[in-house]
Structures are given as C-alpha cells and as structure tokens.
Amino acid sequence: MSNDWQVGIDVGGTFTDVVAFQPSTGTIAEAKVRSHPDDPIAGLLAALEAVGISWENVDDLMHGTTMVTNAIVEDRLAPVALIATEGFADTLAIGRQNRRHLYRLDLEPKIRPQVPEQLRFEVSERLDVHGEVLKPLTPEAVDVLVAEVVDSGVAAVAVSLLHSYANGDHEEQLGARLGQVAPYLALSHRISPEAREYERTSTTALSAGVMPLAAGYLDRMEESRPAASRLHLLHSAGGMASPEALRELPLGLAFSGPAAGVSAAGWVAGELGLANVISFDMGGTTTDVCLIIDGRAEIRSDRSLGGRPLRTPMVAVESIGAGGGSIARLDSDALRVGPQSAGAVPGPACYGLGGELPTVSDANLVLGYLDAERPVGDLRLDVAAAEGALLPLATALDTSVQQLALGIVRIANAAMARALRRVTVEKGIDGRECTLIAFGGAGPMHAVELARSFDIGRVVVPRFSSSFSALGCVSAEMSYTQQRTVHLANTDWEQERLDTIRGELRRQLVRHFSETQRSDCTQSEFAAVRYSGQSYAVEVSEPALDDPEALGEQFRARHQALYGFATDEPWELVTLRITLTAPRHARPQLTGEHRGSDGEGAARTTSCWFDAGGARETPRYARDALGAGSTVNGPAVIEDAWSTVVLPPGATLDVDSFGHLHIDVGEAP
C-alpha cells in the first residue's frame, strides 16, 4: 500500500473521528470509532484501522485533542511552584475584584488560586514598565530561590516576574538555573509576553501545570510513530504545529478540538465563496459557534478555561452548555435546558445505557427526528426509554410528551441563538447576512430552526459533517502565532522600535518552519488598539503599521462598527500579533462530481413533529443516495451513518457537486 496518506484524527470524549486523504489517487475515507480515554494511542490505531490504513502508510498524521482542555476544566493539573517578583507572590490569590456569584454570599467569591501559598516564592529583582532594570537579579538571590524550589519537591515551575514582557533577561537567568533542577519550566515572557500581571501569571502557571501531561502524551506518540511518518497537532489558533513547539507551549492545545472544526469551516467557506459565515458545531455536551470572515476565523487571546484566565491566541469560539446530552429540568416552575449534561456514560435515556434524565436527544427521538430503527454506531435508540424520561416533566407541566419535547428543542435553540448574537451583533456584524455551516453529531438537526430564529436565510451542511473536525485536521495549514505588548502612543510614535519588535516576532516564528517552508510562508499581522485611558482594545486586522495616520483611520472605523461612535482622541497601539503560515500542498478537493448511489427516492416515511399542530408524515432519505443537483423539499429527514439533517416544512435543500447540502430555510408554514 502507498505511504502517501494524509490522515486527520480528532479525539473527542465519546468518539474519535478520522478522515484519510490520498493525494496520488484523490481517495477520501472517513470513519468514527469509540474513544479510548485511558489509552490514546490505542484510539489512534483503532481510527486508522477503521479506514483500512496502517500507520506505516501515513505520510502526515494531523491530530486534534481535548486532553489539555479536560485537564484544566477537571483541575487535573500537576503541582506548580510559582516564582514572582518580591511583593507579588500573591497575584493569583488576589486576582480581580469581580465576584463569581454576585448575589450568593455563601459561595466563594473567587476561584481558589492554582498555586497554594506554600509553593509561591519571591525573588529580589525589579524592572520598570519599559523593561529597564531598577533592581538587578543577583547570583545570591538565584541560589536561595533554587534551594527553595528543590526543597518543595515539585517538578513544574512557573516564572512570572513583573514587567518581564518588556524584558525577559531576568526570567532567562532564572530559567537557566531552574532548568537544572525542574524538568518542566514555563517562563511568562515566552508563554504570554503581555501586560496584565494576573492574566499573564495565570496563563504561565496553567502552562506549567499541563506540561507533564502534554509532554508525556507527546512522547508516547513519538515513540509509537513510524520513522517515515510525520506527526503534527492542531493548535488553538486553528493551524498545525509540531510536537516540539507544543512541548514548550502546551496551552496551544487548550482549544485544539474546537479549532479543528472552525478550521474546516473556514476552508469550506473559502472554497464556496462565502464571505460571512458562522460555524455551528453541536455535539453531546456543548455547542461551539465562531464567526468566520472571508475564510478567516476571528482570533482572541482573552479567554478563560475552568474559571481561570488564559492569555494565548486561539479561535474565538463561543461555547455554551447546550448539546444532545443537555438535561431538561424544572426551575421555579420554568423549563430549563442545560448546562448540566448526561455525558457519554450513562448518556441520554434513549441510549439504553442506564440514563434516566430527560435530554435534548430524548426530545429529538420522541419528535421523530432520530430514527429508532437505524443504529448509531453500536447503539440502538430506545423510544420507550426516551418517553419514560420525559413523562415526569410532561406530567408536572400538564402537557403531552411531544409538546414537552418541542419545548425542550426550542429552549435549546434559543440558548444557541444567544451564542450567535455574541459572535455577530456584539462584533459589529449583521448575523442575518451570514451563512450557517452546521456540523457535529447534532448540529444539522437543529440548524434550520436555529437559522430561522436568527433570520439567517441559508444553511450549509458540508460533506463529512459528522467527522468535520477530523477534516479540519487533514486540511489545516502549518501556522504559528506570537504576540507582544507594545504600548505605543500615536502622539509619540516610535517607528524604529515597532519595526524592531516586528522583526523579533518574525524571527521567533520562523524557527518553527523547515528551510523549504520558509520561502513560501505568508505573514498576517493584527493590532490591538485603544483610545488612551481605555481598559480594553479593538483588534484591527492587517494594520497599517508603517503609517500611524492610516492605522488611526482603521481603528476609528472598527470602533465605529463595534460601538456606533468614534472620536479623534489620542489612541495607542497596545498589542501586536503576527501569524506565519506555510500553505498545504496536498488537500482534499471540495469540488467534483458527486453522483450519489442508485435511486434518489425516500427510503421510507415516518411521523415527525415540527410544531404543536401534530405529527406529519415525513420522508427519510439516505444522504449518499442524493446525487449532485438533487432537490428535496421539506418536511424531510436526510441521514448518514452518524448524523441527521432535519428539513422542516417550508425549507428546500439542494446538493452541490461535492455533496455539500445547501438549504434555503424558507419560512415555517
């Protein structure tokens, strides 16, 4: 067998998706297997086996994972020693003044600091805001500190000194000594070279806390990898990175899974010529949405994970607790859905694995959208169990099980519509002009009604929608991103200093690429700009960094779009971010002749509920049977082995040449 296969594998909590592409023949294969949380390598091998490929036949293996995300959310972090400037060891404990629960005085106002007091150490040194040395770091101070770290017995150390983003020399000196006694070391000027001490310190401590886990995982993968096969992982900003780079920056994996789906959505949007797109990924536990403009997803660095701030560039995914496993309940006589989830085990009641609580999946089965006669992998859906789970709630609300199911679906859709608003209207974008790209196990089931509620007229359900994140892995480009605090006022512009910073950032990024890739890398720049005195900045893409007057115009235009006003007040360039990207020379083709299998008629007809008027006879189509040019009018259900597309009355579906489904949502009768 040829060894030129390009394989993308996305490991989720319940299932592992795989898409394999062979450039020499154009062959594309996909599969979905159960995840192996206790043995990730076994999961990768099972995924390869499912598409009939041996790892020895793989040229490039691109991999997305939720490992780091889950470790942070579940607080499974290694013990960390924190090194701070004298007087600043309690930065994590002080945090910000915001309360987590504004009206609950009985609950802890802030999340507990990741690093306990006994593992916080101080060192005598000081820099000013420009990075000038006010108090030098002496060898004697370093000796005392190293002895304290050794006595603590920890293997992971985070160093976050005051204003080190402006000058990392003191952190480098400490790192040279601490690296001799601690195998895992995170220096803040490498991890997050930005102002805001609390956020930078939190990010550095999180990085140190996940380093042992990430390094162990990457080492096992490298040991298992055949010598002729290359390995890359999807990072949080939506590109590929080498294992070596991610050993140094493991938080690059924090949003690896969601970033893969967004990457694929951006690629599909570019191929289809869609300017404004919202990616809509609905799984079992969460729904992830992201704004994509001209094929490029928005990147943000002001995120939080597990309640802890995280300052590292990543796709601006808005995640909410609304998925197929979201639990419905009564709260003060009102029906609520999520964010609590039945999880993968026992899962929704309809899985027949012991779950008893009513979920969105149970509602979809009761409404007839899911087909009890069609197995989902090795699961057979149980209608009686779903109805039994919904019945107590229906009785409490004095309604039928079907009416309750309609209510559950509508409430879940309303929560998702609020997420759409956060990534469009609040970003100065008219969501009604966007196209919704729906994927994931449950996304295509809810997409049309969600689009209608948001006045979106068009939905695209791409080919490989159930394994779309794996497609994102196999199609992602090699890219690396770095950003740095600049603090450059337009009234005191220093072009030479700015050019120096740009050059330094580029040199840091170029080292990740091979000699052959450096010749065709493309560079993208982004600037965070704010009015003098403001706390938060506005991001400007492709800024005019060589012309401050033009940059000011770009900033004011963006500010006007976001907030409805702009002034001629002084402003400052706060942060500069640079991304270097090397193009992929082998990608699956998204255009071509999709013929479909023999016969385009409905396989059979079942009853589905779309509104309170009662059940309607609804044809069910096999997706593979719909060839290019096929048209289906709602109501209808289109199914493949792992996902279901619901086409309510009034909607129309067309199949393009590659098998993407284009839906005109129309209006409900």
pLDDT in tens, 86-100: 999 999 999 888 877
- Both tokens of residue 87? 């007087």
Shortest CA distance to 431 belongs to which of 318, 565, 556?
318
Please indicate, yes or no, whether residues 52 and 19 belong to a single structural domain of this protein: yes
Residue 594 in domain: no
Please indicate, yes or no, whether residues 356 and 457 belong to a single structural domain of this protein: yes
What is the predicted pLDDT for the residue at 602?
Answer: 65
Residue 524 in domain: yes
The whole-angstrom separation of Cα 567 and Cα 530 is 11
Please indicate, yes or no, whether residues 67 and 112 belong to a single structural domain of this protein: no
Q: Which range among 12-21, 380-389, 413-422, 515-524 shows the weakest confidence by mean pLDDT?
A: 515-524
What is the predicted pLDDT for the residue at 84?
Answer: 96
Residue 15 pLDDT exceeds 60? yes
Q: Which range among 10-14, 55-59, 159-163 shows the weakest confidence by mean pLDDT?
A: 10-14
Please indicate, yes or no, whether residues 380 and 309 belong to a single structural domain of this protein: yes
Please indicate, yes or no, whether residues 550 and 560 belong to a single structural domain of this protein: yes
What is the predicted pLDDT for the residue at 163?
Answer: 94
Cis bond upstream, residue 392 (ω within 30): no
What is the predicted pLDDT for the residue at 287?
Answer: 84
What is the predicted pLDDT for the residue at 647?
Answer: 96
Please indicate, yes or no, whether residues 335 and 473 belong to a single structural domain of this protein: yes
CA dihedral 512, 513, 514, 517 (to 10 degrees): 180
Angle between helices 401-423 and 383-396 (to 10 degrees): 90
- Both tokens of residue 2? 């040829």
The whole-angstrom separation of Cα 410 and Cα 452 is 12
What is the predicted pLDDT for the residue at 573?
Answer: 95
Say which residue the tokens 């706390």 belong to: 535
Residue 85 in domain: no
Shortest CA distance to 510 belongs to which of 283, 275, 245, 328?
245
CA-based max dimension of the chain: 82
Q: Which range among 22-31, 46-55, 198-207 shows the weakest confidence by mean pLDDT?
A: 22-31
Residue 156 pLDDT exceeds 90? yes
Question: What SS3 state is found at 605?
Answer: strand
Please indicate, yes or no, whether residues 408 and 530 belong to a single structural domain of this protein: no
Residue 599 pLDDT exceeds 60? no
* 653/380: higher pLDDT: 653
Residue 591 pLDDT exceeds 60? no
Last residue within a domain, chosen from 207, 231, 264: 207
Q: For residue 374, give its domain range.
A: 256-477+652-669
What is the predicted pLDDT for the residue at 128?
Answer: 93
Residue 597 pLDDT exceeds 60? no
- Number of domains the chain is built from: 5
Residue range 532-545: mean pLDDT, rounded:
89
Q: Identify the band that residue 171 occupies on the pLDDT scale cut at 50, 70 and 90.
A: very high
Q: Identify the band that residue 601 occupies on the pLDDT scale cut at 50, 70 and 90.
A: low
Shortest CA distance to 286 belongs to which of 263, 255, 308, 309?
255
**Percent above pLDDT 90 for the chain:** 48
What is the predicted pLDDT for the residue at 592?
Answer: 56
What is the predicted pLDDT for the residue at 269?
Answer: 92
Angle at 419 between CA 339 and CA 239, to 5 degrees: 100
Residue range 257-278: mean pLDDT, rounded:
89
Phi, psi of 578 (to 5 degrees): -125, 135
CB 608 within 8 A of CB 520: no
The whole-angstrom separation of Cα 91 and Cα 116 is 12
Residue 127 in domain: yes
Please indicate, yes or no, whether residues 453 and 507 belong to a single structural domain of this protein: no
Residue 593 in domain: no
Residue 276 in domain: yes
Q: Identify the band that residue 78 occupies on the pLDDT scale cut at 50, 70 and 90.
A: very high
Last residue within a domain, chosen from 528, 551, 582: 582
Residue 595 in domain: no
pLDDT in tens, 190-242: 998 888 899 999 999 999 999 999 999 898 888 889 988 989 998 888 888 88
The whole-angstrom separation of Cα 386 and Cα 273 is 41
Please indicate, yes or no, whether residues 545 and 555 belong to a single structural domain of this protein: yes
Residue range 63-91: mean pLDDT, rounded:
88
What is the predicted pLDDT for the residue at 10?
Answer: 87
Q: Identify the band that residue 14 occupies on the pLDDT scale cut at 50, 70 and 90.
A: low
pLDDT in tens, 319-341: 777 788 889 999 888 899 888 88
Integer CA distances (angstroms), 405 to 349, 372, 648, in order: 14, 16, 16
pLDDT, the chain, mean: 88
Residue 520 pLDDT exceeds 80? no
Residue 594 pLDDT exceeds 60? no
Residue 590 in domain: no
For residue 64, the domain's CATH number is 3.30.420.40
Please indicate, yes or no, whether residues 182 and 293 belong to a single structural domain of this protein: no
Residue 372 pLDDT exceeds 90? no
What is the predicted pLDDT for the residue at 211?
Answer: 94
Residue range 274-281: mean pLDDT, rounded:
92
DSSP type of residue 610: -
Last residue within a domain, chosen from 552, 582, 612: 582
Residue 593 pLDDT exceeds 60? no
What is the predicted pLDDT for the residue at 380?
Answer: 84
Residue 32 pLDDT exceeds 90? no
The whole-angstrom separation of Cα 317 and Cα 298 is 8
Please indicate, yes or no, whether residues 139 and 54 belong to a single structural domain of this protein: no
Integer CA distances (angstroms), 540 to 193, 434, 532, 561, 578, in order: 19, 21, 16, 12, 12
What is the predicted pLDDT for the residue at 100?
Answer: 76
What is the predicted pLDDT for the residue at 642?
Answer: 81
What is the predicted pLDDT for the residue at 451?
Answer: 95
Residue 308 pLDDT exceeds 70? yes
Please indicate, yes or no, whether residues 646 and 656 belong to a single structural domain of this protein: no
Residue 1 pLDDT exceeds 60? no
